[in-house]
Structure 1
């Protein structure tokens, strides 16, 4: 399989491949100062400049089962990531000693990182836990970036993912099967913060189409919401699908009523394409990964 790291510019519609490899890599983040991109591959983290070049390994010590759920702190000094042991960790952006952040909730509980609050103090993650009848639940939780008590924001039996703060910190965007009439039919929702543990009644639905919509990412200027759209009937967020990256407008951090999505670019991708926020600080460019082979 070929992995291609691509930068797309909204203002011109131009897409540029800056790195390609026969190795699978995933999920670019863009540093807050615009000088480097973060990707994961083979359980490790790498950084490379937006102009392209060979990725440079980041020292994460014994943590070598890192997945595609990672974020950069707003000051650019810290990388937060999800590891194969089910926990969240922090490491200096240049590499070094890692620090476990999350608490023990039993061996069956998994933490999947998706957002950092604008002030850098709080991480938003999906907690996957055993549910009734052997099913797995996936709900939105937060935890202080320095470590501390967890706060659960949703209490839903349906699948939820992709929790991410808006730049003003007033809302959180997620994808959820809350309104699904068929298995896997995820749509986008927003949560107004602060919220006590939600049963879903106070979640506002943002997309209403037959496609399966995942991973909403607000632009740094709060003007655009970028997301990954799968073909109808897709379950979960698999790889190797004909997907579309779409946008919705944001006004005061929220999607206006009756806003219509705009198709930006279509390609072969899915899992690993934009699992985490990949906007450049200029809010015009974003990075994504395609898998054309």
Structure 2
């Protein structure tokens, strides 16, 4: 099963007004008719639970961007975050116990995590950058994420961005690559099953000076 976000269909916003904005769908990996999961727009898909039964997504309801989950089979969305400011980029940990995400509730964008039910929300680390879209490796030992300078608002496509890697044990952070253009680069990167590689998209050619080899 694949999950997608799409904004081609006419939808209704949370206040009931007509809109053309993103909704979350699932579709069989072999092809077929997409099944709409979210009823309110906008909704942006980000992560699958490891058991394949639940999706984590970001939804804007009454002006607030927060993190929600929704069962794939059928059911209602559940709001997990209520803090002031943007919460974004939810992704499950490999064991399904946590959802990692980025939040600006402290004043600038940082990496957080919470239990899969939304409880025990805590900041993972803090530094002087804006950090987005955390993705934990399948073995649980590493986390890769996007990093912008502190003065950059959002994740625009016309700003330099770093792809950084954090050791989950000692919280040591290294730069894997320097890229130009954030949105679309590693919004949803793909870890290899052996946790040794990360696939991502760059808007331009990446030369030897852009990539730090190894870990």
1:273 counterpart residue number: 185
**How far off its partner does 1:188 sit?**
0.4
**How far off its partner does 1:91 sit?**
1.3
**How far off its partner does 1:148 sit?**
0.9
Asked whether the equivalents of residues 189 and 200 of structure 2 are also in contact (C-alpha less than 8 Å), the reply is no
Question: Structure 2 stretches of 5 or more lacking a match?
Answer: 8-20, 206-215
2:116 counterpart residue number: 193
Distance 2:135 2:189 in 1: 5
Distance 1:94 1:166 in 2: 26
1:142 counterpart residue number: 69
1:240 aligns with 2:158: yes
Asked whether the equivalents of residues 139 and 152 of structure 1 are also in contact (C-alpha less than 8 Å), the reply is yes
Distance 2:193 2:178 in 1: 23
Distance 1:224 1:276 in 2: 16
Asked whether the equivalents of residues 25 and 35 of structure 2 are also in contact (C-alpha less than 8 Å), the reply is yes
**How far off its partner does 1:211 sit?**
1.1
1:115 counterpart residue number: 47
- Residues 1-293 of structure 1: pairs in structure 2 closer than 5 A: 78-84=1-7, 85-103=21-39, 105=40, 109-130=41-62, 136-180=63-107, 185-195=108-118, 202-251=120-169, 259-292=171-204
How many equivalent residue pairs? 192
Describe the SS at the equivalent of 2:81: coil
Question: Structure 1 stretches of 5 or more lacking a match?
Answer: 1-77, 131-135, 197-201
Distance 1:233 1:145 in 2: 38
TM-score, normalising length: structure 1: 0.62
Distance 2:109 2:187 in 1: 15
Asked whether the equivalents of residues 46 and 90 of structure 2 are also in contact (C-alpha less than 8 Å), the reply is yes
Distance 2:125 2:160 in 1: 19
Structure 1 residue runs of 4+, over 2 Å off?
Answer: 192-196
Distance 2:6 2:159 in 1: 25
TM-score, normalising length: structure 2: 0.84
RCO greater where, 1 or 2, for CA within 8 Å and sep 6 or more? 1
Distance 1:114 1:157 in 2: 20
**How far off its partner does 1:147 sit?**
2.4
